[in-house]
Structures are given as structure tokens and as C-alpha cells.
């Protein structure tokens, strides 16, 4: 491996870790993407990053696409490359960013799945007659109430919750903090959990049976088991509750900006996908109810 090429990547990953405070999983994604880039650069005889041209990078993207890499993965690869060369340009190591203008195959727009209100009720309304049920009820209510990511909920401590105001301080992607509301049923479930666990302000809200922190995989496993017990047989996962919360709020309020703030999206364009879900709901209601929308039967 060319030392000068690898040193630049190491500096960049250090910058993301220390200054940008990226999560370990995000850093792993960048490292994997740039490992592909450096392997390609060495294969075509590139000795310095300022020698790489856009046409060569486009050829790499085409090569990976032919090998079966999905458009979404290619998009993430190019995003990592753009960030890397932008970092090098800032330090004067390259004059132009060769990743700018390089295209990846178009990613088909995939709408998120959601549970409707009745399905959410079926999932959430179970008796809290044992220790695990109390824990799971609080976990599910909080995921749905505040549209949390699974990585966010496992890091929450009781000091982050202001039960009197019904507000929660959440640390999201890029260590950005936002304040989100918590619904009354979630607050009630959390109060029962806190009494049961005899938890202090510095304790994690979610803990495993042995008292240790609950992992993200632990949340997924418990949610899947609870859904099965409640007779919800479709695939249920933490982000499904986040999608459902966002969709239900937008359907009821029409306030896209408020939903963006709740979700912690930096770009409102990311939030706009839920408007497509709302339109699908409207279209179904229209097709079923409007007298001029009904199709003629042959």
C-alpha cells in the first residue's frame, strides 16, 4: 500500500473521529469506502491523490455497478469520496475534487413502511404484569412517542427526561442534541419503569436484565418478541416506529417543519418522503370514497 495515499486517509478518518465526532459505525463505513478507493488507485498506478481524475473515478463506479453493488451502496461510496477530497482540497493537497460530478446509478425511491393507528395500538397495549413487560412498554411507548432512532434510545439517561415538562434531550447523529416532546402515555410508562428499577438520574433508562446497558440489538430482539406476542406478524423494528410516528403526525397536522425538528433531519428534503406516504393515504381514501373515482366493472 502506498504510504502517502494511506496517510491521507488516516488523517481524514482521525478528523472525522476527533473533530466531527462521528460514530464508530459511520467511521467504519467511511473506512470501507476509502479502502476500495485506495485499492483502485494503486491498481491503476496513482501515486498521489491529486493525480486521480473524475473519469477514472467514474470508471470505478461503473466497474462496481457491473459487479453487482447496489445503487444505494454506490451512492454512499461516492459521498465518502466527495468528503475525503473536500478535506484534501481544504488542506491544499488537491486542487479539484474528482468526485464532484461523478454519478452513481439512480436509486429507486423506496417509501418507508408504517403501522397504522390500530396496528400501533395492538402493539403497544399489553398488560405490564411483570418486570420485562414494564420495561418493554416504556421502551415501545418512547420509541413511538418521540420518533427516536435505536442508537438514541439506548444512550438515554434519566437526567435527559424532564417529566414535568414532557420533554426529552436526545443526542443524535453527529452528536447533535435536540429536544423532543414525550406523550403522556410514554411518561406514565416511564414513571412505572423508574420506580421498578429504583433508578437515579445518572442511570440509563433502558437496561438489560443483568443491569448492564441494553444494546441496539437487544432493543430489536425485545421489540420483535413483543410484536410476536401481541399478534403483529409483520416485520417490526425500531425504525418502523419512528416512521409511523412521523407519518401519523404529518397526516394529522400537515406541519412538515415540525416533523423535521422532531426527527432531527438537517435537510427538510429528507423529511419530505413522509408527504408521499400522506398522499398515498389520501389517494386510497379518495379511490374508496369519491363517487367519480370508482372504476367501472367489466
| CA trace torsion 44, 47, 49, 52 (10° rounding) | -30
Residue 30 among the catalytic residues = no
Copy the grid coordinates of residue 70: 447496489
Residue 135 among the catalytic residues = no
Burial of 67 (0-12, 13-18, 19+ CB in 10 A): exposed
Residue 149 among the catalytic residues = yes
Q: Which residues of 238-277 are buried (b: 16+ CB within 10 A; e: fewer)?
A: bebbbbbbbbbbbbeeeebeebbebbbbeeeeebebbeeb
Of these residues, 11, 207, 239, 281, which one is catalytic?
A: 239
Residue 228 among the catalytic residues = no
Of these residues, 173, 178, 220, 281, which one is catalytic?
A: 173
Of these residues, 135, 149, 194, 248, which one is catalytic?
A: 149
* CB within 8 Å of 224: residues ≥ 6 apart: 236, 237
Residue 239 among the catalytic residues = yes
- Please count the other Cβ atoms lying within 10 Å of the Cβ belonging to residue 43: 9
Of these residues, 194, 242, 243, 248, which one is catalytic?
A: 242
CA distance 91 to 81: 16
Write phi, then psi, for 36 (nearest 5 degrees): -65, -40
Residue 157 among the catalytic residues = no
Query: Of 115, 135, 110, which is closest to residue 236 (Cα–Cα)?
Result: 115
Catalytic residues: 149, 173, 239, 242, 265, 274
Amino acid at each position: 500500500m502506498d504510504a502517502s495515499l494511506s496517510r491521507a486517509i488516516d488523517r481524514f478518518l482521525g478528523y472525522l473521529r476527533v473533530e466531527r465526532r462521528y460514530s464508530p459505525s459511520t467511521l467504519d463505513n467511511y473506512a470501507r469506502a476509502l479502502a476500495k478507493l485506495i485499492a483502485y488507485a494503486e491498481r491503476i498506478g496513482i501515486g498521489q491523490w491529486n493525480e486521480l481524475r473524475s473519469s477514472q473515478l467514474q470508471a470505478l463506479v461503473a466497474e462496481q455497478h457491473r459487479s453487482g453493488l447496489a445503487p444505494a451502496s454506490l451512492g454512499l461510496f461516492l459521498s465518502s469520496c466527495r468528503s475525503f477530497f473536500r478535506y484534501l482540497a481544504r488542506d491544499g493537497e488537491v486542487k479539484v475534487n474528482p468526485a464532484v460530478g461523478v454519478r452513481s446509478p439512480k436509486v429507486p425511491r423506496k417509501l418507508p413502511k408504517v403501522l397504522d393507528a390500530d396496528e400501533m395500538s395492538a402493539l403497544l397495549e399489553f398488560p405490564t404484569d411483570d418486570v420485562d413487560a414494564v420495561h418493554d412498554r416504556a421502551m415501545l411507548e418512547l420509541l413511538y412517542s418521540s420518533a427516536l432512532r435505536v442508537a438514541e434510545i439506548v444512550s438515554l439517561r434519566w437526567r435527559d427526561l424532564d417529566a414535568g415538562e414532557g420533554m426529552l434531550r436526545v443526542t443524535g447523529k453527529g452528536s447533535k442534541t435536540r429536544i423532543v416532546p414525550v406523550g403522556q402515555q410514554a411518561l406514565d410508562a416511564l414513571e412505572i419503569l423508574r420506580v421498578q428499577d429504583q433508578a437515579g438520574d445518572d442511570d440509563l433508562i433502558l437496561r438489560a436484565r443483568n443491569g448492564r446497558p441494553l444494546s441496539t440489538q437487544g432493543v430489536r430482539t425485545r421489540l420483535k418478541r413483543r410484536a410476536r406476542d401481541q399478534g403483529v406478524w409483520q416485520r417490526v423494528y425500531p425504525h418502523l416506529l419512528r416512521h409511523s410516528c412521523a407519518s401519523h403526525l404529518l397526516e394529522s397536522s400537515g406541519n412538515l417543519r415540525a416533523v423535521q425538528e422532531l426527527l432531527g433531519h438537517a435537510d427538510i428534503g429528507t423529511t419530505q418522503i413522509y408527504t408521499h406516504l400522506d398522499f398515498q393515504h389520501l389517494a386510497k381514501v379518495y379511490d374508496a370514497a369519491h363517487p367519480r373515482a370508482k372504476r367501472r366493472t367489466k
